[in-house]
Chain A
Amino acid sequence: QKEVEQNSGPLSVPEGAIASLNCTYSDRVSQSFFWYRQYSGKSPELIMSIYSNGDKEDGRFTAQLNKASQYVSLLIRDSQPSDSATYLCAVNIRGAWNNDMRFGAGTRLTVKP
């Protein structure tokens, strides 16, 4: 089982819709979770971090964490064509004592005008 798994996509949504991106992880001691956005040919850019169960909202982005189910998701409301990118889920696989961050393969999102 991979440490961090994401649906590879591609995921296509119309402009203005909600995009839902999902991620599961294997290590139960994981404490911190991150979502990065990566445009083609660019480096990953941090968009959200979440550490506690529940929802965390930042503008049009909402991260959701369920540690019991080992599941983290990212919702993008009112999707825009500029949101078209690959979204990477990253998990600290060793818990709080070491920031050993592992990435999923990424989900490619396309927002169609």
Chain B
Amino acid sequence: EAGVAQSPRYKIIEKRQSVAFWCNPISGHATLYWYQQILGQGPKLLIQFQNNGVVDDSQLPKDRFSAERLKGVDSTLKIQPAKLEDSAVYLCASSFRQRNTEAFFGQGTRLTVV
């Protein structure tokens, strides 16, 4: 079974530029998460989708971050404009269903904003 796929693996951009990350979850997984992990900290949930609907985006900085999950499969996370403090690893995870199930992570995208 293929795992969660993410791209790109690394990205370096200047502040005020925009960037987008892509995620393809495990086949059949209805729930998809985007996490931000700053060095030395645990992952912080940014947004959770159930199929193509948003379940929780309470911690998403909506003035600069946006995410979508068209057709309930792939998802993209965008940052525009980026700030220095956005430097982090962006992790995508998926789970089979919404309730009480394990989440599996992709390899992440390491973003550096200079």
With an 8 A cutoff between CB atoms, is A46 at the interface?
Answer: yes
* Size range of the chain B interface in the assembly: 20 to 34
Chain A residues proximal to chain B, CB less than 8 Å: 4, 6, 31-32, 34, 36, 42-46, 49, 51, 88, 90, 92, 96-106
Query: Could you tell me if A43 and B107 are in contact, using CB atoms closer than 8 angstroms?
Result: yes
- Chain B interfacial positions (CB closer than 8 Å to A): 31, 33, 35, 40-45, 48, 55-56, 89, 91, 95, 97-108
- Considering the chains assembled together, what is the distance between the CA atoms of A101 and B89 in angstroms? 18
The contact of A88 among B33, B43, B98, by CB within 8 Å, is B43
Task: Choose among B44, B102, B107 the residue that contacts A46 (Cβ–Cβ < 8 A).
Answer: B102
Q: What are 11 residue pairs bridging A and B, where the CB atoms are less than 8 Å apart in the complex?
A: A6-B42, A42-B107, A46-B103, A51-B100, A88-B42, A88-B43, A99-B31, A99-B97, A100-B56, A104-B42, A105-B42
